[in-house]
Structure 1
């Protein structure tokens, strides 16, 4: 009973958050733009002793924002070895390179916040800079060192490739709603850096504060907001040499970091016969949302079923026996998983994709991405959010947000179905309950930035520039056909735009 009460509180808090997001965040005290085309005179300093030629490889610590799953862990190890090899090639001692998920094993390591004190304790007095990057980031070691020498490491500095929002967006709590482009935050894919003085102050501040934050949605924006501290802290300094996405030829030579803009290459795409698509819908959306799926990505899905609260032979739909709910859809999601787990005609499938009726997908890209993962491993894949992770090292849990599409391996579904963890109510949030149950049962929550919970307009154009996206979500205030054609249509598809 106590567990059910706790879960109902989660549902209540989620609803409260949605209401809170409708209230605009406070404006910054200094709303000067710090995007890629604007110099930040406040944070760009004259070189000091550590900001010039005295800075060496031993003065920089690299932290790879890695993931525990084997595919991502292997890439992190390869990047670490590449950095070390670059140092050896010039006959220098290699810098310290930390694989995040191995050094700090807490649930919330990927949010960075709870581990600021440990990072400061380990490196704050030994290094001038801590440089963070992702497992796919490519680093040119000595050119990166030359770039860092241009900045005074004795000052509080926050460096990165600046991203700015196109418009006020729900994923950033509508921050700076009157002037969204006035605030910049780092593109993690290009790498970002904290000077030791800033790291140490942030760690001290974090240790002295109590943390009741509930949701982690976009860590790169949330970290920038924390560092900015309502105008009392430090703004991001844009570093043009930190790169991600396509570059024109004369710019590429200036880049000290790069990030691939192609899909991962892990072999042949997963065969269509191995993937089952389940679309959650209800009667009131049979005539507007469902046709969008049928005329776009649904045509590319060989095995697809529409699960509704009412049978409709014109689609056709299948009922789960679970009535439609206005909030969460946990009961419906678990009914779908149960069918995938038990129905003989579905047992040959390796992957279950649960999508909303207003989710837009690229099926060919998804099949390519899935080739990097093993369906015999218990996996929950998509865009990762978090609940309660910043309260402590082992608090809360991560989950795959439902709107961008939730991908479950055969082993993941089996593990969840054989456990005692399930829905406290039919209208509990399915993605959050699946995340909580994954944490309890050992199913690995794996993040991919190619999945998106929101619309393209809710993401920075700079962020989208280095992605072949797999999904977007919501029809609100945009034409889903145009979104599909612009962002998700692949060369192998032919589709003519149809007005809604």
Structure 2
């Protein structure tokens, strides 16, 4: 006991006299920290999350001041809804609330510099409610944020998950006392988390932390490189079968945009319409056009993809006729995934997640399915309840019931570039032609200047 008291006294003395006073917090700071890596169940993402955990613990060991708790989100999931984090907060509080001062959330590819992170957190009184992150905001009212704060969109900020974001224990305990969401749909998790924490003015707004970075600097506590990892050579063009959903109404309006932009990058591509048009050409699958939802057409595409009528390919990409996409970047991304695994990849949305709902890959940004996923879905007997049911939601409900995870990539976008924060840099896809020139958008955001090596 006398020895421990002596060490404690010397620590205080050192911290008061040292020219680097932040080092003092190493003695207890790491053990006060819970790091949650927002990993996913897909094998590639689970592996990347595990690698990040090892790196963090190795860094902690080199500091020699104890270990933080490092959690992988996909290992915490009891239900599919838990990826939205809000349902997990009570469990996190009950398990770690007595021993931790901070919860810090990062992406699988976020790199932490622990000494800098502890220095940052040491600036904030842990007895207070803190919500810390790199500040993002809307420049104009956005459909993906339900047009929130339309009078002054920039007045509300939300964190960039790539840079990491932190909750103090008092704030986490506040959050678990209310369970109200403004919408049944989870569309942009970072914005909806910020709204939930803000609690219509009863909770804190985001405090901007310049050391939470998505670039590289000596002062950064976190850095981030890319959502488009390099897993080797892109998959072959012939390994991606592209299905474009269209209808007679848009043959002369939207299809020419596809042909003028990204069609040339496809190995196998077919247009599916309600009429046969040899000039495109289109294929009529015998499913009438519907004003909303295209479930009947999409399920017909799934069956055709598995048939002998088309070349066999590992991957199926289903897009709308007003989807803009970079197929070379998609092929590079797909190298990271195993087509023998049931994969549903794209921009993940959620429906009624707090009430045992389900996740789904939103259709406009592009739905990428492995052959294994399509085979499992079709053989399961899952059906549309009507031809005009929302195809992406029906697929999500089916995959949820089959235990197939919805794999999210921020590179896919259901809306236009202007609907996202100004920090948007990378993309595989965008959707919609409203009030934009789609060809210019494609050339600016999606067309690569360097040709992709063909295999």
TM-score of the superposed pair, with normalisation by structure 2: 0.92
1:487 aligns with 2:448: no
Aligned residue in 2 for 1:157: 130
Q: Cα distance, 1:122 vs. partner? A: 1.2
Aligned residue in 2 for 1:386: 350
Distance 2:144 2:445 in 1: 19
Could you say what secondary structure the match of 2:277 adopts?
coil
Aligned equivalent of 1:115, options 66, 78, 88: 88
Could you say what secondary structure the match of 1:450 adopts?
coil
What is the RMSD computed on CA atoms of the aligned residues? 1.7
Aligned residue in 1 for 2:383: 422
Aligned residue in 2 for 1:90: 63
Deviations 1:385-420 (A, max 9, x none): 0111122xxx11110000000001000110011011
Could you say what secondary structure the match of 1:174 adopts?
coil
Larger Rg: 2
Distance 1:85 1:144 in 2: 15
Deviations 1:238-278 (A, max 9, x none): 0111111x45xxxx112111111362111111101111100
Aligned equivalent of 1:260, options 201, 225, 233: 225
**Is the CA contact 1:83–1:94 (under 8 Å) kept in the aligned structure 2?**
no
**Is the CA contact 2:109–2:226 (under 8 Å) kept in the aligned structure 1?**
no
Alignment of 1:181-192 (within 5 A): 181-192=154-165
Alignment of 1:431-442 (within 5 A): 431-442=392-403
1:141 aligns with 2:114: yes
**Is the CA contact 1:378–1:442 (under 8 Å) kept in the aligned structure 2?**
no
1:470 aligns with 2:435: no
Q: Cα distance, 1:67 vs. partner? A: 0.3
1:299 aligns with 2:264: yes
Could you say what secondary structure the match of 2:80 adopts?
coil
Aligned residue in 1 for 2:296: 331
Could you say what secondary structure the match of 1:72 adopts?
helix
**Is the CA contact 2:77–2:83 (under 8 Å) kept in the aligned structure 1?**
no
Aligned equivalent of 2:404, options 423, 434, 443: 443
Distance 1:66 1:489 in 2: 29
Structure 1 residues 253 and 212: alpha-carbon distance in aligned structure 2, compared to 1, 3 A threshold? closer
Could you say what secondary structure the match of 1:204 adopts?
coil
Could you say what secondary structure the match of 1:152 adopts?
coil
Aligned residue in 2 for 1:12: none
Distance 1:224 1:326 in 2: 34
**Is the CA contact 2:139–2:421 (under 8 Å) kept in the aligned structure 1?**
yes
1:397 aligns with 2:358: yes
Distance 1:417 1:443 in 2: 13
Aligned residue in 1 for 2:3: none
1:132 aligns with 2:109: no
Deviations 1:293-317 (A, max 9, x none): 0110111112111100011111111
Aligned residue in 2 for 1:217: 187
Aligned equivalent of 1:228, options 195, 198, 210: 198
Structure 1 residues 186 and 212: alpha-carbon distance in aligned structure 2, compared to 1, 3 A threshold? closer
Aligned equivalent of 1:351, options 312, 315, 319: 315
Deviations 1:336-367 (A, max 9, x none): 11000112533x21110000000000010000
Could you say what secondary structure the match of 1:194 adopts?
strand
* Unaligned runs of at least 5 residues, structure 2: 1-21
**Is the CA contact 1:160–1:237 (under 8 Å) kept in the aligned structure 2?**
yes
Aligned equivalent of 1:374, options 338, 356, 376: 338
Aligned equivalent of 1:272, options 233, 237, 248: 237
Q: Cα distance, 1:442 vs. partner? A: 2.7
Could you say what secondary structure the match of 2:407 adopts?
strand
Distance 1:122 1:379 in 2: 32
Q: Cα distance, 1:227 vs. partner? A: 1.1
Distance 2:127 2:166 in 1: 13
Deviations 1:190-223 (A, max 9, x none): 10000000001111233xx6x7952111111001
Alignment of 1:21-36 (within 5 A): none
Q: How many residues are matched? A: 430
Distance 1:232 1:264 in 2: 39
**Is the CA contact 1:280–1:354 (under 8 Å) kept in the aligned structure 2?**
yes
Could you say what secondary structure the match of 1:418 adopts?
helix
Distance 1:161 1:80 in 2: 22
**Is the CA contact 1:59–1:127 (under 8 Å) kept in the aligned structure 2?**
yes
Could you say what secondary structure the match of 1:267 adopts?
coil
